[in-house]
Structure 1
Amino acid sequence: MRLSDEQAFIQQEVHRFAEEEIEPAAVEYERNGTFPRDIIERAAELDLLAPRFDEEHGGAGMDLVTELLVNEELHRADPGIAETVTSVTFGCESIVEHGTDEQIEEYVQPAIRGEKISGVAMTEPEAGSDFGNIQTTAEKDGGEYVLNGDKVFISNGSVADVLVVYARTSSPDSAHRGITAFLVDTDTPGLKATQMEGHLGPATTDIAQVFLNDVQVSEENRLGAEGEGFYQAMEFLDEGRLNVAASAIGAARGALELLIEYVSERQQFKESISEKQAVRHRVADLRARVTAARSFVYETAREFEAADEFDTEQTAMAKLIATTLLEDVASEAVQLHGGYGCFDEYRVETYFRFSKIPQIYEGTNEVLREVIADATFE
């Protein structure tokens, strides 16, 4: 894949950072379930927490392709640590687009510097893919809103300093028009976040349930206009899906590299496993699929940059193809490691556990199939 000199340089620098800072610590962090604050700080020094944010807001000002390269290289090294590093500024895109200068200064710039962590409280026990059906309420009381409700599966929920909370401010005939976004400091009285333990994915990520009990939020902390929250959230869905696709490609590359290294060194019956045709062909198929999927993801990104408009069907395809591929690659990596593939020392089991996660967030793969089917049969 052709890259500009600048893109190639950034990719090499991120690859080096990942090799030196992430890979050596990955097993220990995963075993201990350590939230990688020290790696976040070092990533901030390299402007990796907000690659695509404008420089005026403290970001690196990278284009979309370069942002995807950063995402891919981090996930190649370790999907768990990468998920945490890339989610430190989760929600800040909406603040930059719809927030005031004061909100950007208070929340976005510290997050980009690695001094604060943001998150998005969207999903609820009865409203996952059906975001328009959220039940959390925000009732106006003078110059404040009073928020009540429960949120689940919230990334950074128990470690975030601020959450972009979506709540229902009205119940018009069109449910989407009744949702508003709020910036809620997590130390606000009435907000309680409890880490959700025992989840399938990497142990370095923070997933929490957030309870809102008469949480008072000033009108100044409303994000944008009342009733616009649903549309604000949808604005970033296509770009988010493309980033998930790049993450999946990176993780697939990481699992495949570990697989190739193992079968090249492992001896069976006085012969390298890599000499066996059945193994060689399985690895060859995986390499071909990774290369093809990677090309499609980056071609989609380049088409957006040329037209300044996302093709929703194509971004849905990119995420569907890449995340399905990741599960296949990670599964084969575990299988061809034999018994060793089930132990964290060989690391492929981490990629396998992660492989289901990106198939669920930013629109489940079932939802994406409907998006593609709608475009097919319209």
Structure 2
Amino acid sequence: MTILDTLLGDPYQSANPYGVADVLEADEAREFTAGTLTLLDDYGFGAEFVPIALGGRFTSIERLVHVMRPVFGRDASLGLGYGLTSFMAAVNVYAAGRTDQQVAVARTLMSGRAISVAYHESDHGNDFGANNLIATEDAGNYRLNGAKNVINNADRAQSAVVFARTGTSGFGGREHSLFLVDLDGPDSPASTPRHLSLALRGCRLGGLSFRNTPVDASTMIGAPGTAVETALTSFQVSRCVAAGAGLGPVDESLFAVAGFATRRRLYGSDLSDLPHVKHTLASSFADLMAAECMVADSANTLHELPAFGSAHSAAAKYIVPRILESAMSDLSVVLGARFYLRTGPYALFGKHFRDFAALAIGHAGGAACQLAILPQLKRLTSQGDAAPKTVPGADLAPLNFGSLRMFAPGPDPVLNRLRVSLESRPVHPALTDVWQILTQALLDLRSESAALAPHDLGVAAPAAAMRLTERYALLLVTAGIVERLDGDAPSWAVLALYRTAERIGGVRLEPPQHVVLETFTDVLRRIQEGRAFDLRARTVPRTMP
């Protein structure tokens, strides 16, 4: 059990001030649950986003995802609004900022203040190269003119990382620079009215209006014209963390629906006795575990194989939300009409369902992630050396932003590790057909990627080329699951491989009934023992609603 699990307490305990009823009441009011900001301040949550070298507790991406999980599981608005948005801003400074800027950011975060990240402009979406907020030189400093829209924490952050045009040619990759802009000073930009949203209702989404706003030249992050390069470097980290943010809400949702199914009587028996319900709960658990494997392995790649981080983090941000959205959709069917209720013991599921859809597209949409993979696909899918097998719990190399690359230098070693595994006999007899599908999918991906023409690799890529990036991402998910078979294949891993093979091959595969039942039993066992639906099977304080 993590410290934050303990501090947030049992969500279904009526006396808990941070429980379901209070979360839902705060969500209706478009606020965070009363007292949660103080709780996180007292814990020192901001230190989780600050590297140890700067006085914080950040040691690895996987650990950060693990620490954030109970916060997002309670309220995704809180996790995003208090921490993740600030981390997305801070990684730009960690990647390219001067030491004094990094120290300033660390102090801000560890004091409990927020930092906003002002990249997007409504007219341009993820096309940052077209952004029009202008930074004009003025006596050695700059003046900013323009606006940033739909910015989280714009009205409560102490500072913001602002993406602005400093070039004058109007095209090219060196036209923009990043600035660390103070939002508390007399000359700071004005915040614009808050946007009201259907989901993540507690997040304060607003904007910043710059009208001849003066900023000192020393606030620039990195060299002039390097904003795109810095952004693409920092995205490799933030995409992976953002993908992991969805694990907590789905974990809590599975618990709620499983609890409902074991208590709901239908047709003279428990709802959980129906084969379809057992299959749905088991499959959702398998999907959740598969998604965690992908996040964990992508995080480890950033530490141990950083030159491949661009492709792996983009793949995680693309595929993990899709796998988890599928699980949430299936679980909503089991919950039935109660899925639509905004009050009562199962209303938290509805909130998580709404929040997850918004959380999944936050930071960067799926197409942007696919376009980060596509130009590298020929090289990535070539046959080459296999990565060594990961050792759970082993110390990782420190995250080194300087080792991250925009494009992979050669064949993907993790994909080649999967190739080597598939050349051996499957460790579970039920996986023989799955092994054949995965082996053929890997061969097809290599040959079809090799046939891509230059005009297939950009924003005008045909649908067939985009589908190759999805297959690549799914094979990385497969690699993560296979890594955890270890001779004694857990039932969830076998079921997860069936489901991943279905997604890759586009065919319906029927897993053995005993695999489904064993996975379903694992779900019930974890509920009875008070354990989370994660790879660590950590203990959690929650009782049936």
* TM norm structure 1: 0.89
> 1-side partners of 2:317 and 2:341: how far apart?
28
Alignment length (residue pairs): 367
Q: Which residue of 2 aligns with 1:235?
A: 233
Q: Which residue of 2 aligns with 1:147?
A: 144
In structure 2, relative to structure 1, the CA distance for the partners of 1:41 and 1:175 (3 Å cut) is farther
> 2-side partners of 1:171 and 1:22: how far apart?
51
Does 1:16 pair with 2:36? Answer: no
1:105, distance to aligned residue in structure 2 (A): 4.2
Counterpart pick for 1:330 among 328, 331, 340 = 328
Whether the 8 Å contact between 2:243 and 2:360 is mirrored in structure 1 is no
> 2-side partners of 1:77 and 1:329: how far apart?
18
1:304, distance to aligned residue in structure 2 (A): 2.8
Whether the 8 Å contact between 2:237 and 2:302 is mirrored in structure 1 is no
Structure 2: tracts of 5 or more residues without a match: 11-16, 379-448, 453-545
Which string of whole-angstrom CA distances, capped at 9 and with x for unpartnered residues, describes residues 19-59 of structure 1?
A: 35744432122121114584233223334324252234231
The alignment-based identity, stated in percent, is 20
> 2-side partners of 1:303 and 1:250: how far apart?
22
In structure 2, relative to structure 1, the CA distance for the partners of 1:319 and 1:99 (3 Å cut) is closer
> 1-side partners of 2:312 and 2:95: how far apart?
24
Structure 1: tracts of 5 or more residues without a match: 1-10
Q: Which residue of 1 aligns with 2:108?
A: 110
One-letter identity of the residue aligned with 1:133? A
> 2-side partners of 1:315 and 1:166: how far apart?
22
> 1-side partners of 2:361 and 2:154: how far apart?
18
Whether the 8 Å contact between 1:138 and 1:167 is mirrored in structure 2 is yes
Whether the 8 Å contact between 1:190 and 1:213 is mirrored in structure 2 is no
> 2-side partners of 1:58 and 1:278: how far apart?
51
- Structure 1 residues 311-326: aligned runs within 5 Å: 311-326=309-324
Q: Which residue of 1 aligns with 2:69?
A: 72
> 2-side partners of 1:36 and 1:215: how far apart?
35
CA RMSD of aligned residues (A): 2.3
> 2-side partners of 1:262 and 1:85: how far apart?
31
Whether the 8 Å contact between 1:79 and 1:351 is mirrored in structure 2 is yes
1:246, distance to aligned residue in structure 2 (A): 0.8
One-letter identity of the residue aligned with 2:152? S
Q: Which residue of 2 aligns with 1:305?
A: 303
1:310, distance to aligned residue in structure 2 (A): 4.0
> 2-side partners of 1:23 and 1:240: how far apart?
29
> 2-side partners of 1:297 and 1:200: how far apart?
27
> 2-side partners of 1:40 and 1:183: how far apart?
24
Which string of whole-angstrom CA distances, capped at 9 and with x for unpartnered residues, describes residues 196-253 of structure 1?
A: 4332322111111221111111222222222122212221111111111111222221
Greater C-alpha Rg: 2
Q: Which residue of 2 aligns with 1:81?
A: 78
Q: Which residue of 1 aligns with 2:190?
A: 192
1:170, distance to aligned residue in structure 2 (A): 0.9
Between stretches 214-223 and 262-271, larger displacement belongs to 262-271
Q: Which residue of 2 aligns with 1:341?
A: 339
In structure 2, relative to structure 1, the CA distance for the partners of 1:239 and 1:137 (3 Å cut) is same
1:95, distance to aligned residue in structure 2 (A): 2.5
Q: Which residue of 1 aligns with 2:522?
A: none
Counterpart pick for 1:128 among 111, 125, 128 = 125
SS at match of 2:48: coil
SS at match of 2:168: coil
> 2-side partners of 1:255 and 1:203: how far apart?
18
Counterpart pick for 2:29 among 32, 38, 41 = 32
Does 1:353 pair with 2:354? Answer: yes
One-letter identity of the residue aligned with 1:78? D
SS at match of 1:147: strand
> 2-side partners of 1:314 and 1:183: how far apart?
28
1:332, distance to aligned residue in structure 2 (A): 2.8
One-letter identity of the residue aligned with 1:53? V
Q: Which residue of 2 aligns with 1:44?
A: 41
One-letter identity of the residue aligned with 2:234? F
1:177, distance to aligned residue in structure 2 (A): 0.5
> 1-side partners of 2:90 and 2:61: how far apart?
16
> 2-side partners of 1:23 and 1:312: how far apart?
38
SS at match of 1:157: coil
In structure 2, relative to structure 1, the CA distance for the partners of 1:201 and 1:273 (3 Å cut) is same
> 1-side partners of 2:35 and 2:102: how far apart?
24
Between stretches 53-62 and 287-296, larger displacement belongs to 53-62
1:294, distance to aligned residue in structure 2 (A): 1.2
> 1-side partners of 2:93 and 2:310: how far apart?
23
One-letter identity of the residue aligned with 1:40? L
Does 1:244 pair with 2:242? Answer: yes
- Structure 1 residues 208-287: aligned runs within 5 Å: 208-287=206-285
Between stretches 202-211 and 187-196, larger displacement belongs to 187-196
Please state which structure has a larger fraction of its residues in strand: 1
In structure 2, relative to structure 1, the CA distance for the partners of 1:314 and 1:157 (3 Å cut) is same
Counterpart pick for 2:178 among 177, 181, 190 = 181
Whether the 8 Å contact between 2:291 and 2:320 is mirrored in structure 1 is yes
> 2-side partners of 1:112 and 1:141: how far apart?
33
1:288, distance to aligned residue in structure 2 (A): 1.2
Q: Which residue of 1 aligns with 2:116?
A: 119
In structure 2, relative to structure 1, the CA distance for the partners of 1:170 and 1:307 (3 Å cut) is same
Whether the 8 Å contact between 2:56 and 2:106 is mirrored in structure 1 is no
SS at match of 1:126: coil
Q: Which residue of 2 aligns with 1:364?
A: 365
1:109, distance to aligned residue in structure 2 (A): 0.7
> 2-side partners of 1:257 and 1:191: how far apart?
44
